[in-house]
Structure 1
């Protein structure tokens, strides 16, 4: 389906992202309204939008709401997006809802394994499902990957607990080489050490001071590193003063990928002479 819309001059040419985007969304909303349609804007990884981009999006959407235009916005991202949106525009908390989507509950996780298998005239033994949920903790992608690995191994139409156990090695290898590795490969030496120190403390959220203690540094020295890891989407802050990994089992991956904690030496600035030269 296409809409024929007359081109408009003098719109979205302010040179200001917020004003230009507002013009675009208002014009889009008006066109949708005239055609009896609605528009959904879907954005993934919202936390990676720059502050100016997020502010412009919120401002533009606010205008479409004020004019009751048929435009809606669905954004997905890490838990900090509610805070980021609030920092960008104070009225964001009134404009959006921020539901949390976590790992699947027990019933849904079981359904995610059992139902697709039934459609292919196969089944999972009850203890196989129990073991799969224990390994994956109900995380959707982990369920998908472990289910695939077990499907490839199973000899008969029923997938057993032994099949799940045998699939574990291939499952971890796949996660380590792709899902986890692409996250770690972006980290610097000090960032890697910070993640490894967190892994040493376990899978839960940890105080910045506790991580600094493992690294034998002061919290103030590591504040920028912690902030960088949050900006990269590797950590998030479930509550003030604490940080946690953004995906399950990342602590176990760090222990496998970096068997020994190596802390880079502190870089000291060269002293300068009275004339300003090193």
Structure 2
């Protein structure tokens, strides 16, 4: 008789997995900062890495940890209107503890199971975003509760980032119990740090999230499968680890499909892994790479095609001759590809594709275009 299992893998962007593979260093630092006195550098943290490396899931993980430790959280994405969103999220997250209106002044507070606030109307009070946040933070301080703000997809072109960073610098200077964790692509974070108005962030703890080791991938796969009563045959586990390429999102995607392929069995064989990995690869292309492809201009494609002539690392100095273009043209399109998170600069002038399997995907799409022409 078939045994029914619940699929334990979570191939959904931002969903916290059952077992967080790797990342012990950053997790230890941030948890210590949330439990500390506010002087820990990780109280302001930057998570940096390419798509699929697990930045969003880590943000969710830290917000969950903070909430379980009694913090109030505001989870937002870096888009226009972000500041209003932070304010609304913070108010809603704290509403079971405090009842605060940004346009009112708090006169006193009494703390029981809930917090009741006596307020005085002040309709002509001049307020801005920072002062509204001050009201919330003051109310939370009465209960010794902190506020964690998480910001995903950092975008330095969003002007509200300047207001946010400046306000958080003052919050910390004033001894308020706050934390700020942001995540973004390497180019976006670097651009943010280079701005004069956001230089405060240069003192933040910065974590460059790299691909997981094979051991970390293997451990997460085995533990997650074991939780549901499944195990891998040795060659099947080896094939699954190879297919994942160290990327947390692909780990969840492959794991999910492997589970589905072997749903009625407690032992996973290599045929299930091979079939599942093929499905997962196509899903990755449809859910992520197709969107990247359709955003590429013809000049973008020419730039990337010139990079595919190298097996791994491309020297920027080699591209002008390959493209028959001046160095300024190469710099322009290098910047575009860095911004879109398609490539990364391993060190000055050394470029590489940063999305696992995208180089092969790109070659296939280029071949299809040529065949259709």
Shift of the 261–124 alpha-carbon distance from structure 1 to 2, 3 Å rule, reads same
For the residue of structure 2 that corresponds to 1:134, the secondary structure is: helix
Aligned 8 A contact 2:150 2:182 in 1:
yes
Distance in 2 (alpha carbons) for counterparts of 1:57 and 1:233: 24
Distance in 1 (alpha carbons) for counterparts of 2:328 and 2:205: 34
Do residues 79 (structure 1) and 186 (structure 2) align?
A: yes
1:5 alignment partner in structure 2: 100
Cα distance, 1:80 vs. partner?
3.3
Aligned 8 A contact 1:196 1:251 in 2:
no
**TM-score between the two structures when normalised by the length of structure 2:** 0.61
2:287 alignment partner in structure 1: 178
Distance in 1 (alpha carbons) for counterparts of 2:202 and 2:331: 28
1:193 alignment partner in structure 2: 302
1:253 alignment partner in structure 2: 361
Aligned 8 A contact 1:104 1:138 in 2:
yes
1:217 alignment partner in structure 2: 325
Q: Structure 2: any 5+ residue segments left out of the alignment? A: 1-95, 105-124
Aligned 8 A contact 1:202 1:251 in 2:
no
Shift of the 32–11 alpha-carbon distance from structure 1 to 2, 3 Å rule, reads same
Cα distance, 1:59 vs. partner?
1.1
Q: Structure 1: any 5+ residue segments left out of the alignment? A: 13-20, 263-278
Shift of the 200–152 alpha-carbon distance from structure 1 to 2, 3 Å rule, reads farther
Render the CA deviation track for 1:89-144: whole Å, top value 9, x for unaligned: 333222x1001222222332112211221122111122222122222222111111
**TM-score between the two structures when normalised by the length of structure 1:** 0.80
1:271 alignment partner in structure 2: none
For the residue of structure 2 that corresponds to 1:10, the secondary structure is: coil
Equivalent of residue 158 in structure 1, options 267, 277, 287: 267
For the residue of structure 1 that corresponds to 2:362, the secondary structure is: helix
Cα distance, 1:249 vs. partner?
2.0
For the residue of structure 1 that corresponds to 2:355, the secondary structure is: coil
For the residue of structure 2 that corresponds to 1:68, the secondary structure is: coil
Aligned pairs for 1:93-112 within 5 A: 93-94=202-203, 96-112=204-220
Distance in 2 (alpha carbons) for counterparts of 1:162 and 1:181: 27
Shift of the 168–245 alpha-carbon distance from structure 1 to 2, 3 Å rule, reads same
Aligned 8 A contact 1:199 1:251 in 2:
yes
1:22 alignment partner in structure 2: 130
Do residues 236 (structure 1) and 349 (structure 2) align?
A: no
Distance in 2 (alpha carbons) for counterparts of 1:183 and 1:2: 43
Render the CA deviation track for 1:160-211: whole Å, top value 9, x for unaligned: 223222323212211111121112221212112222332332344x232323
Distance in 2 (alpha carbons) for counterparts of 1:202 and 1:238: 15
For the residue of structure 2 that corresponds to 1:99, the secondary structure is: strand
For the residue of structure 2 that corresponds to 1:75, the secondary structure is: strand
Do residues 53 (structure 1) and 148 (structure 2) align?
A: no
Distance in 1 (alpha carbons) for counterparts of 2:192 and 2:158: 9
RMSD: 2.4
Do residues 65 (structure 1) and 172 (structure 2) align?
A: yes
Shift of the 143–80 alpha-carbon distance from structure 1 to 2, 3 Å rule, reads same
Distance in 1 (alpha carbons) for counterparts of 2:163 and 2:221: 41
